[in-house]
Amino acid sequence: MSASEGKRQKIASRCIVEADQCTHVFDIAGYSLLKGIDAGKVIRSAAFVAGGCEWCIRFYPDGYSAEDSGGYVAIFLELLTNAEVRVLFDFRLCRTPKVFKAAHFASGSNKFMKRSDLEAAQYLQNDRLVIECNVTVIMGTPAVFITEQFIQVPPSDLPAALGKYLDSGKRADVTFKVKDEVFHAHKFVLALWSPFFEAEFYGPMKDKAMQSITVEDVQPDVFKALLVFIYTESLPGMDDDLDEVESQEMIKHLLVAADRYAMERMKLMCESILSKRLDVESVTATLALADQHHCEKLKDACIGFINSSDAKDLVESKGYEHLKRACPDVFVDIWERAAKSCKL
């Protein structure tokens, strides 16, 4: 086992930022009396404390300066204490969605809002302007500490270990002769996955002396893939050296083998793969296969595909005649499903 595959330590830490929050409401009565005070003239709020420092709001009714006022009012947050702090804040006028945020010692906007908009009725009531400032002062250095420390366990290597036993034939106690090829395996492993093998090796009719089995009607590459799945729970070689048609045929052969040896998980995996590869040319042949081997989920997928396809194309496909001959009863299911869809 390499160092990268071994136990790895995993540590989690947490950063906690402390902050002091404050909201100051600056109520300016007699706003109309401030008109014409001249650009650059400031109205200051009372000092208030946030984060251990004093602050105030600076309001410029006629603009921050003659050069950049342009008919705007200006609002700033000012730090009165001689200190370096980080602050987040926003200004709000009563019932306005306009929000400014910054992170400076004394900042705001020299063009907060046009005076003509501010003097609309929704912002001024009884000649009073209410400015609300929400201040958040970041306090000191954020605290960082370890919250969890645990060992990460790697995934199980049991499939890989079993696969090595299959490849080497070490401690094998049964041999399968498939055509001209011979495969060595372990009875106990086969019995874990397949009720068929369990009955053959450990059932009432078992033959204790049986060490060699001849397999008929299964191709060597299919039987090899069957064994690999039993040992590693993976379907091998589907995309390595096979084109799309060959891969499709291999999956079909594996489905038949899985049905023969009562390997339901492998059978369901093959159904899933075939259901994702349905097309007009293959659906009728796949439906016949599903009906013959009692693959209900694959059968439902095929019928659904057929009922949503062009009937003319299906009738002209290569597998249609085979479907009629091999599984005539399946057409009843197709018609019934189509009738139910029409009613809906």
The answer on 224 and 108 residing in a single domain is no
pTM score, whole prediction: 0.52
Residue 97 domain flag: yes
Residue 221 domain flag: yes
Residues 218-261 pLDDT 10s: 999 999 999 999 998 888 655 445 567 788 889 999 999 999 99
CA distance 134 to 13: 31
Report residue 102's pLDDT band, with 50, 70 and 90 as the boundaries.
very low
The answer on 264 and 284 residing in a single domain is no
Q: What is the pLDDT of residue 299?
A: 85
Q: How far is CA 169 from CA 130, 183, 190, 226, 291, in A?
A: 86, 8, 14, 16, 37
Residue 3 domain flag: no
Q: What is the pLDDT of residue 150?
A: 66
CA angle 208, 211, 217 (to 5 degrees): 115
CA angle 326, 332, 333 (to 5 degrees): 95
The answer on 293 and 335 residing in a single domain is yes
Residue 263 domain flag: yes
Q: What is the pLDDT of residue 185?
A: 92
The answer on 257 and 159 residing in a single domain is yes
pLDDT above 50 (res 294): yes
CATH number for position 337: 1.25.40.420
Report residue 326's pLDDT band, with 50, 70 and 90 as the boundaries.
low
The answer on 192 and 122 residing in a single domain is no
Q: Rounded mean pLDDT of 75-90?
A: 90
Mean pLDDT of the chain: 81
Q: Which residue is associated with the tokens 């395996």?
A: 185
The answer on 307 and 256 residing in a single domain is no
pLDDT above 70 (res 63): yes
Report residue 268's pLDDT band, with 50, 70 and 90 as the boundaries.
very high
Report residue 99's pLDDT band, with 50, 70 and 90 as the boundaries.
very low
Domain that holds residue 115: 12-144
Residue 179 domain flag: yes
The answer on 305 and 217 residing in a single domain is no
Beta strand segments in the chain, E: 8-29, 43-44, 48-50, 53-60, 72-79, 86-93, 100-102, 107-114, 124-125, 128-152, 174-178, 181-185, 212-215
Q: What is the pLDDT of residue 151?
A: 66
The least confident of 78-92, 219-233, 241-255, 325-339 is 325-339
Select from 91, 122, 144 the last residue of a domain: 144
First to last CA, the chain: 59
The answer on 320 and 241 residing in a single domain is no
The answer on 173 and 291 residing in a single domain is no
The answer on 261 and 162 residing in a single domain is yes
CATH number for position 85: 2.60.210.10
pLDDT above 60 (res 340): no
pLDDT above 60 (res 5): no
Task: Name the region of 304 (left: φ>0; alpha: ψ -120 to 50; beta: rest).
Answer: alpha
Select from 77, 110, 144 the last residue of a domain: 144
Length of the chain: 344
Q: Which token pair is 67?
A: 């050069």
The answer on 110 and 177 residing in a single domain is no
CA distance 39 to 68: 9
Q: What is the pLDDT of residue 339?
A: 53
Q: What is the pLDDT of residue 41?
A: 92
The answer on 62 and 40 residing in a single domain is yes
75-86 core/surface letters (b: 16 or more CB in 10 A; e: else): bbbbbeeeeebe
Select from 112, 144, 176 the last residue of a domain: 144
Task: Count up the domains in the chain and report the number.
Answer: 3
pLDDT above 60 (res 24): yes
Residue 6 domain flag: no
Q: Rounded mean pLDDT of 1-5?
A: 47
